[in-house]
Structure 1
Amino acid sequence: MTTIADPHLDGRYAWLRLAVSVLAATVASVGMWAVILVLPAVQAEFGVGRADASLPYTATMLGFAAGNFWLGRFVDRFGIAVVLTAAAVALAAGFGLAAVSRNIWDFTLAQGLLIGVGTSAGFGPLLADVSHWFRRRRGIAVATAACGNYLAGAIWPLGLRGILAEDGWRAAYLVIAVICLAVIVPLALMLRRRLPVAAMASGAPGGPAQPMAAGFSPATLQWLLALAGIGCCVAMSMPQVHIVAYCADLGYGVAVGAEMLSLMLAAGIVSRLASGLLADWIGGVRTLLLGSVLQGLALLLYLPFDGLASL
Structure 2
Amino acid sequence: MTAAKHDVDSPYAWLRLGLSLIVGATACVGNWSVVVVLPAIQTEFETIRGGASLPFTFTMLGFAAGGVVMGRIADRAGLVACIEAGALLLLAGYLACSFSTSLWQFTLAHGLLIGVGSAAGFAPLISDLSHWFRRRRALAVAVAASGSYLAGTIWPPITQHFVETQGWRATYLGIGIVAFLIMVPLGLTMRRRPTAGALAEAEAATAVERSRLGLSPNVLQGVLVVAGFACCMAMSMPQVHLVAYCGDLGYGVAIGAEILSLMLGLGVVSRLASGFVADRIGAGPMLILGSAMQAAALLLYLFFDSLSSLFVISGLFGLFQGGIVPMYAVIIRQFLPPREAGTRIGLVLMATVLGMACGGLASGFIYDLSGSYRLAFLHGFLWNCVNLALVCWLILRPRMKRPAGGPAPAAA
Structure 1 residues 272 and 164: alpha-carbon distance in aligned structure 2, compared to 1, 3 A threshold: same
Structure 1 residues 127 and 165: alpha-carbon distance in aligned structure 2, compared to 1, 3 A threshold: same
- C-alpha distance in 2 between matches for 1:193 and 1:115: 27
Structure 1 residues 47 and 239: alpha-carbon distance in aligned structure 2, compared to 1, 3 A threshold: farther
CA displacement at 1:269 relative to structure 2: 1.0
Alignment partner, residue 74 of structure 1: 73
Secondary structure of 1:191 counterpart? coil
CA displacement at 1:206 relative to structure 2: 2.0
- C-alpha distance in 2 between matches for 1:120 and 1:81: 14
CA displacement at 1:253 relative to structure 2: 6.6
- C-alpha distance in 2 between matches for 1:245 and 1:12: 46
Alignment partner, residue 194 of structure 1: 193
CA displacement at 1:43 relative to structure 2: 2.9
CA displacement at 1:301 relative to structure 2: 5.7
Structure 1 residues 207 and 38: alpha-carbon distance in aligned structure 2, compared to 1, 3 A threshold: closer
**Amino acid corresponding to residue 10 of structure 1 in structure 2:** D
After TM superposition, the score normalised by the length of structure 2 is: 0.67
CA contact (8 A) 1:92 1:178 kept: yes
Alignment of 1:79-90 (within 5 A): 79-90=78-89
Structure 1 residues 202 and 9: alpha-carbon distance in aligned structure 2, compared to 1, 3 A threshold: farther
- C-alpha distance in 2 between matches for 1:177 and 1:62: 20
User: Which is helix-richer, 1 or 2?
Assistant: 2
CA displacement at 1:278 relative to structure 2: 2.3
- C-alpha distance in 2 between matches for 1:31 and 1:247: 26
Alignment of 1:81-100 (within 5 A): 81-100=80-99
- C-alpha distance in 1 between matches for 2:191 and 2:271: 27
For structure 2, list consecutive stretches of 5 or more residues without a partner in the other structure.
312-412
Secondary structure of 1:206 counterpart? helix
CA contact (8 A) 1:37 1:258 kept: no
Moved more, 109-118 or 281-290: 281-290
Moved more, 37-46 or 177-186: 37-46
**Amino acid corresponding to residue 195 of structure 1 in structure 2:** P
Alignment partner, residue 172 of structure 1: 171
Structure 1 residues 56 and 231: alpha-carbon distance in aligned structure 2, compared to 1, 3 A threshold: farther
Alignment partner, residue 35 of structure 2: 36
Secondary structure of 1:136 counterpart? coil
Larger radius of gyration: 2
Cα-to-partner distance string for 1:235-279 (whole Å, 9 max, x where unaligned): 44454456678889979577x776655443321111111111222
- C-alpha distance in 1 between matches for 2:184 and 2:224: 31
Structure 1 residues 38 and 260: alpha-carbon distance in aligned structure 2, compared to 1, 3 A threshold: farther
Structure 1 residues 307 and 173: alpha-carbon distance in aligned structure 2, compared to 1, 3 A threshold: farther
Alignment of 1:1-311 (within 5 A): 6-204=5-203, 206=205, 208-237=207-236, 239-241=238-240, 262-299=261-298, 305=305, 307=307, 310=310
- C-alpha distance in 2 between matches for 1:222 and 1:172: 40
Cα-to-partner distance string for 1:26-56 (whole Å, 9 max, x where unaligned): 1001111112222233234333333333222
Q: Percent of counterpart pairs with the same letter?
A: 51
After TM superposition, the score normalised by the length of structure 1 is: 0.86
Secondary structure of 1:7 counterpart? helix
**Amino acid corresponding to residue 189 of structure 2 in structure 1:** M
- C-alpha distance in 1 between matches for 2:301 and 2:70: 36
Moved more, 5-14 or 204-213: 204-213
Count of aligned pairs between the two proteins: 306
CA contact (8 A) 2:37 2:160 kept: no
CA contact (8 A) 1:95 1:115 kept: yes
- C-alpha distance in 1 between matches for 2:306 and 2:43: 23
For structure 1, list consecutive stretches of 5 or more residues without a partner in the other structure.
none
CA contact (8 A) 1:39 1:245 kept: no
Backbone CA RMSD of aligned residues: 2.8
- C-alpha distance in 1 between matches for 2:308 and 2:31: 24
Moved more, 210-219 or 114-123: 210-219
- C-alpha distance in 1 between matches for 2:86 and 2:178: 13
Moved more, 90-99 or 112-121: 90-99
- C-alpha distance in 2 between matches for 1:185 and 1:283: 35
- C-alpha distance in 2 between matches for 1:49 and 1:108: 14
Secondary structure of 1:121 counterpart? helix
CA displacement at 1:100 relative to structure 2: 2.6
Secondary structure of 1:47 counterpart? coil
CA contact (8 A) 1:25 1:122 kept: yes
CA displacement at 1:111 relative to structure 2: 0.8
Secondary structure of 1:88 counterpart? helix
Alignment partner, residue 317 of structure 2: none
CA contact (8 A) 1:18 1:130 kept: yes
